[in-house]
Amino acid sequence: MRQERSARHQSTANGLAPLSLADIHVAYATKGGMVQAVRGVTLDLLGGESLALIGESGSGKTTLGLSIVRLLASTARITRGTITYRRGEQQIDVLRLKPPALRRFRWSECAIVFQSALNSFNPVVRIWEQVWDTAAAHGWKDRPAVRRRALELLRFVQLDPDRVINAYAHELSGGMRQRVLIALALLLNPQILILDEPTTALDILTQRSIIIMLRRLKEEQKFTMMFISHDLAVAAELADRVATMYAGKVVELGPVNDIFYQPRHPYTLGLIRAVPTVTGGFEELASIRGNPPNLVHLPSGCKFHPRCPFATSRCKTEEPELEAVGPDHFAACWNWRDVAAEVEARPVHAAATLQTAVEMPADQVERAM
């Protein structure tokens, strides 16, 4: 598997991102009006990187992930924008793919592990049959080869392959099912893996063991991954870059340490300061005041202004776009310099806290695996 991956990565080492989103807008038609779930997201996913999308519930993270693989609900429309997928010299306009090519794209190029997919296994079918169905649906006819690949992947995700391949889903714990889902997503050797809340439904020890496994995937295989998570600890542990989403927009984007130590958007700062410390630090626990906006009737100007402690009159009328606030670091805020001054005056030590929060004694983690 490693050889196959490195060949793929050579093929994308031409400097172009394997995935580029440009000005993506997604809306859901509802009785109450159009829910503007994603509003103009422009984002590159770089070869071999892991990018975390963070933000409160309802900020549009899942909608953005599902747009990439075009698995949105039937009431959703991508109303504007382009999604470009690249492999080597090949360039694919994802939003124009016809059904057979789209199916191929979803498993062979860009696989997704859904939020709450843990309960989506068919309870009366063994894991092997589910693997085989997936492989066969993509034209793979060589049963022994599929089985070998499945066993190899199950071993990679640190499961006992011979036991798990013959098991029914109900015989597996939540953590084991999550590993099987990740193995299944890797079956057709995709270039990109999107993981929507990969640890959310799991207990803390199981979360930890999944994080360790994903870190191996990232470090050993140099996989290109997008994590969607409202859990900042997952982002701190796994991401090279972090994008904060608010009301359907990316409002801050940058290297993981810049985001957690030097946030420049008041919303990111609020998210970080709302994380309780478990290490005995003295970070003040504060929550972000107010509620997420109504996505049918959005506020004027900057969508965060009704909740923002840094808001000024301009914020009520003009919506800021992302601008450079440091090398490879961008924020959409008129007053990011004030945020910088605040962070200077009262430093955040979130990343250390978050990373320590998921450190656990190795023997406990072993037991959770």
Ligand X SMILES: Nc1ncnc2c1ncn2[C@@H]1O[C@H](COP(=O)(O)OP(=O)(O)OP(=O)(O)O)[C@@H](O)[C@H]1O
**What residues line the site for Mg ion (CB under 5 A)?**
62, 115
Q: Is residue 249 a contact residue for ligand X (CB under 6 A)? A: no
DSSP strand pairing (192-196 vs 110-113) = parallel
State the Cα angle at 44 between 39 and 48, rounded to 5°.
140
What residues does 126 pair with on adjacent strands? 168
The correct pick among 86, 106, 177, 230 for binding ligand X (CB under 6 A) is 230
Q: Is residue 334 a contact residue for ligand SF4 (CB under 6 A)? A: yes
How many alpha carbons fall within 13 Å on the CB side of residue 15? 0
String marking each residue 110-129 x if it binds ligand X according to CB under 6 A: -----x--------------
Q: Six-digit token pair at 231?
A: 């859990």
Q: Is residue 73 a contact residue for ligand X (CB under 6 A)? A: yes
Q: Is residue 317 a contact residue for ligand X (CB under 6 A)? A: no
DSSP designation for 58: T
- Nearest-angstrom CA–CA distance, 334 and 300: 14
Number of residues that bind ligand X (CB under 6 A): 17
Q: Is residue 304 a contact residue for ligand SF4 (CB under 6 A)? A: yes
Q: Is residue 333 a contact residue for ligand SF4 (CB under 6 A)? A: yes
Residue showing the smallest CB distance to Mg ion in the complex: 62
String marking each residue 206-245 x if it binds ligand SF4 according to CB under 6 A: ----------------------------------------
Q: Which of residues 12-31 bind ligand X (CB under 6 A)?
A: 28, 30
Contact between 181 and 211 under an 8 Å Cβ cutoff? The reply is: no
Q: How far is the CB of 302 from ligand SF4 (least distance, A)?
A: 3
Number of residues that bind ligand SF4 (CB under 6 A): 13
Closest listed residue to residue 111, CA positions, set 54, 7, 182: 182
Contact between 237 and 211 under an 8 Å Cβ cutoff? The reply is: yes
Given the rule CB under 6 A, which of 55-63, 269-277, 323-331, 343-351 is the region that contacts ligand X? 55-63
Q: How far is the CB of 258 from ligand X (least distance, A)?
A: 22
Contact between 175 and 209 under an 8 Å Cβ cutoff? The reply is: yes
Q: Is residue 315 a contact residue for ligand SF4 (CB under 6 A)? A: yes
Closest listed residue to residue 295, CA positions, set 33, 67, 5, 45: 33
How many alpha carbons fall within 13 Å on the CB side of residue 4? 9
Q: Which residues lie below 8 Å from residue 289, measured CB to CB, with a gap of 6+? A: 307, 309
What residues does 51 pair with on adjacent strands? 226, 241
Give φ, ψ of 300 to 5 degrees: -75, 170
130 binds, among ligand SF4, Mg ion, ligand X, none (CB under 5 to 8 A by kind): none
Q: Which of residues 264-293 bind ligand SF4 (CB under 6 A)?
A: 265-266
Q: How far is the CB of 95 from Mg ion (least distance, A)?
A: 21
Q: How far is the CB of 245 from ligand X (least distance, A)?
A: 7
For ligand X, the binding residues (CB under 6 A) are 28, 30, 35, 37, 55, 57-63, 73, 75, 115, 230, 295
